[in-house]
Chain A
Amino acid sequence: MNRCYDDGALRASVDGALGRPELDELRAHLRVCPSCAARLLELRAAAERTGALLSAPQPDTRAAFARTLTALDRARGADTEQPIRRSSTMTISRGWTRRITLLAAALVAVALLALPPVQAAADQLLKIFRVQSVVFVPVDRDRLRELEQLDFDASTLFVAEPTTVVDPGEPVTVATADEAAAMVGFPVIQPPLAGQDTSTTYAVRGRSVQEFQVNVEAARQLLQAAGVTDVTLPDALGSGPIRADIPPMVVTSVSGADYRLDLIQGRSPEVTVPDGVELEQLGTALLRLLGTSPEKAAALSAQIDWSTTFVLPFPAGMSGVQTVQFGDITALQVSSRRSDGREMQLYWQRGDRFYVLSTQGNVDDATVSALVDATR
């Protein structure tokens, strides 16, 4: 065959998408036609270059399937539980009530943090300790299931109902960042998202002081039920009240047509534990409860400065947790996907100030980056 080939046929030959007789004819032609041969080389080079530039890493299909099932479950649960959109004050008020309740439990048996979703765990712990570094402890899914099935009544961990020494009251909503700053005593960052289609509110939560006393025996039973017999909790843990002093905080909420953003700004809480309580010992107990082997738990616990380290238990194989660098600020990012859009939480610390940013829907990286920068 003497006629020259068009680019389409030449390109298809690169992919082996020509029939056998057609391919044989093409080869015969290429032997006698340097022009077509040269074009074929060009087309192949462009195809290979394109393939290389568009190449993708191998995805973890099993993990993706597990996440998709979770999203389906969550969507089903959300349908029956409550409407997706709530007013901002409702969200804040309910959210805080839950957090304070969980805060008390977390202080007693930090191990319980393995049970709620990882975001909630992160949320609580950052309010408890002065976080300077983060240690990720992978937890086997089977272990998590075992812990869930313990059916342990967390309320028995307290000698009595936790007492509220200083009641923060209901959050107060103010109109401007300046008013909020005057109430909390530090400058309040204004999210860089102003426009006609956005609404911004500032809700100030007052100072709160909680006290509670641990029932050490119940805490020991929890460990035993979970199969941890090589760690003992000191009697001192229950010898006096644990006191958590949480300074005022401000929650800035911005919502637009297709996104919602909440930024919590506050100072690190002060936590006082009874004399004779070794944080290292509690840390080891936590690691053991999470399924870390005795040797590894001891070694890890000795390395960690428990008073400044945030321990984040997360299911092994989970891919949505990562640290992100914004200049000299290291932030912890937890991403999740919901059927109604992307959800992300970011935690970072600046001096004695901590920041928790939650976003839902269309909030792009540039906005997040600008917001973190503003806290410098």
Chain B
Amino acid sequence: MLDAANQRAEVLDTDALLLGRLHAGDVAAFELLFERHYATVFRALYGLTGSHEEAEDLAQETFLTLFRTPPRHKPGMSLAAWLCRVGLNRAYNRLRGARRERQRAERLAEAPAPAGPEEELARSEERALVRQALAKLPERQARLLLLRHAGLSYAEVAQALEIAPSSVGALLARAEKAFVAAYAAGNDDEPVL
């Protein structure tokens, strides 16, 4: 994970060059940026949604935004951080509507047991609990976890959340404790089927 972050740090300059070409409508530059950053954006979105399809959908929207309105490169700017921020903004916007929240809760409560092997069932239950646990955290804490565990460096996480890089460790420690506790509490609440 850290290797990936370091590798990204080394390619910041090329990101800047590619962004410049992208502003000129260069699709090949878009492809290179897509290959470089797609997996990171996908991981952050999968962490939040727990759905392969939804994460792909949101990641695609994120890259369409990049293609249509690429950001102006500034010194020290991380494109991975920018992309993750755009993706998570979209994801949270989708989640926000009160009606949607209610229906999500209903779905979690009423979802019929999917057919399939037991491990698959356990995995889908785990994903639901992960989403519940994330929803219990303050949004900034949840974003911090998603960004860091998607593979962003401390500096990139700091940039995406507009916080001081020196505060990432402390915030991360607090967020992870809260998340693990929320997950464990959700697991206990789960009715025995």
Contacts and interface: CB of A to CB of B under 8 A. Distances in A.
Contacts of A67: 56, 60
A17 B154 CA distance: 8
B173 A58 contact: no
Pick the most buried of B133, B145, B180: most chain A CB atoms within 10 A of its CB.
Answer: B180
A53 interface: yes
Closest 9 pairs between A and B when the two form their complex, measured CB to CB: A8-B170, A12-B169, A56-B46, A8-B169, A11-B173, A7-B173, A54-B47, A46-B176, A366-B107
B96 to A, nearest CB: 12
Centre residue among A54, A364, A366 by max chain B CB count within 10 A: A54
B100 interface: yes
Interface in A230-254: none
A342 interface: yes
Interface residues of B, number: 57
Nearest to B165: A17
A132 B147 CA distance: 45
B55 to A, nearest CB: 7
Interface string A40-55: 0001001101110111
A149 interface: no
Interface in A69-94: 69, 71-72, 75
Given A47-B176, A53-B126, A364-B104, A59 B169 contact: no
Given A46-B177, A54-B149, A366-B110, A64 B38 contact: yes
Main secondary structure of the interface of A (DSSP, over half): helix
Most buried by B among A43, A46, A58: A46
A326 B46 CA distance: 24
Interface in B147-193: 149-150, 153-154, 166-174, 176-177, 179-180, 183
A95 interface: no
A365 interface: yes
B75 interface: no
A134 to B, nearest CB: 16
B44 to A, nearest CB: 8
23 contacts: A8-B169, A8-B170, A10-B173, A11-B173, A11-B176, A15-B2, A16-B2, A46-B176, A47-B176, A50-B145, A50-B149, A54-B47, A54-B145, A54-B146, A57-B46, A59-B42, A59-B59, A61-B34, A64-B60, A67-B56, A337-B56, A362-B97, A362-B100
Nearest to B38: A61
B17 interface: no
A53 B60 contact: no
B107 A365 contact: yes
A189 to B, nearest CB: 19
Interface size class of A (residues with CB under 8 A): 35 or more
A59 B40 CA distance: 10
A59 B41 CA distance: 10
Nearest to B42: A59
Interface string A1-30: 000001111111001110000000000000
Contacts of A7: 169-170, 173-174
A163 interface: no
A75 B150 CA distance: 30
A325 interface: yes
Contacts of A46: 173, 176-177, 179-180
Given A11-B170, A366-B103, A65 B176 contact: no
B121 interface: no
A339 interface: yes
Interface string A344-367: 000000000000000000101111
Given A64-B59, A366-B103, A367-B103, A11 B169 contact: yes
